A = this chain, B = another copy of it.
Amino acid sequence: MTVSRVLNGTGRVSPAMRATIQQAAEELGYRPHLAARGMRSRKSMMVGTLVQNEPHNKLTHPLTWAFILGINDGLAHSSYTMALVRLTDVLEDGGLQAPVFKGHLLDGLIAVNAIPSEAESRLEDLVPRCVWLDANVWRPINCIRRDEAHAGALATKALIDAGYRRLLCVRGHGPAKHFSLDLRLQAIHQEAQSAGLEVEEFAPPFVFRWPNEGWDAVYKFVDALTPETGVIVENIYAADMLSRACTALGKRPGHDFALVCCDAHMGGGLEWPQLSHVSFKRYDMGLLAAKMMLSILEEPDTACPSQLIQGEWMAGETLQPNKKQQ
């Protein structure tokens, strides 16, 4: 018992006793057996991170990676270890097939990105505590999200301030998968309206699948670009593909049209410092989510208010002042 107290740093033990025990532990190379501890204390000392995965789309959005690294680093030097959990494991068979959930393996779970609403309540049954990171779940506590409305407004305002009167918004096909896209789109239209402008929406096939769907759509879109046109795109990947398509046809962002992007973060492989963009530091948000989880687990009585994280506007050469306007 005294040994347990010394090794856990709990309770009062005489300094002499403490020294003796610590020395013995060191000499014997003592390593605690976490499974035994977990069994008795009913805590696994494991936090899961839930990642979206789909059977037909193996590669989850690469921006998720920065979240994961942030969460993992936020747990460093704590007593917790991070497990990666698949969304499909929650959906299949009510989550009771996967050992993580079936076996009481997690003390808490951080759900990242869009989580189907069916999974939301299941998760809370399966895991004691949940934190929602950039997810479609938004409550007064335990959530962290990018402020997408702010990002959309920033990008739109930058174009308007630079003198662009013709605004195009490039978006993906079909209904938005992530909550953020709708929020942002709304803010873009609103910001334009308050300046007396309209935003045209484009869902050109080539942004994501160029040139699989033929060159016609590409020509048409690129032809419509003028030096007075400001284009707003979703993220750095979309910006990159669009820029490449335009450049191939002789129109360069920052020269022949203006390009701004609502969601980017340099340092994650794809570097494009010249891109005018709103920067979201996903790594830092991951850190924050981990700290929130630690607080929830270690001080269950202290509520953690949700946080809306604003992106930072990063001016770049793809947005030049509109010369005709000035």
A binding-site residues for B, Cβ under 8 Å: 31-39, 44-46, 49, 51, 53, 58-66, 68-70, 72-73, 76, 79-86, 88-89, 96, 98-100, 102-105, 208, 210-212, 237, 240-241, 243-244, 247-248, 252, 267-274, 283
A53 and B133 alpha carbons, distance in the complex (Å): 22
Q: Is the CB of B58 within 8 A of A81?
A: no
Chain B residues, CB < 8 A from A88 = 76
Q: Is the CB of A104 within 8 A of B34?
A: yes
Sampled A-B contacts (10; CB under 8 Å) = A31-B104, A35-B35, A49-B84, A53-B72, A68-B84, A76-B86, A81-B99, A210-B271, A243-B244, A248-B252
Q: Is the interface of A mostly helix, strand, loop or mixed?
A: mixed
A62 and B32 alpha carbons, distance in the complex (Å): 35
Q: Is the CB of A271 within 8 A of B241?
A: yes
Q: Is the CB of A59 within 8 A of B267?
A: yes
Give which listed residue, B58, B60, B99, contacts A34 with CB less than 8 A.
Answer: B99
A270 and B268 alpha carbons, distance in the complex (Å): 11
Give which listed residue, B44, B96, B274, contacts A35 with CB less than 8 A.
Answer: B44
A243 and B39 alpha carbons, distance in the complex (Å): 56
A83 and B45 alpha carbons, distance in the complex (Å): 12
Known: A35-B39, A65-B65, A86-B73. A59 touches B104 (CB 8 A): no
Chain B residues, CB < 8 A from A240 = 240, 270
A68 and B65 alpha carbons, distance in the complex (Å): 10
A33 and B99 alpha carbons, distance in the complex (Å): 10
User: Nearest-CB distance from A124 to chain B (Å)?
Assistant: 16
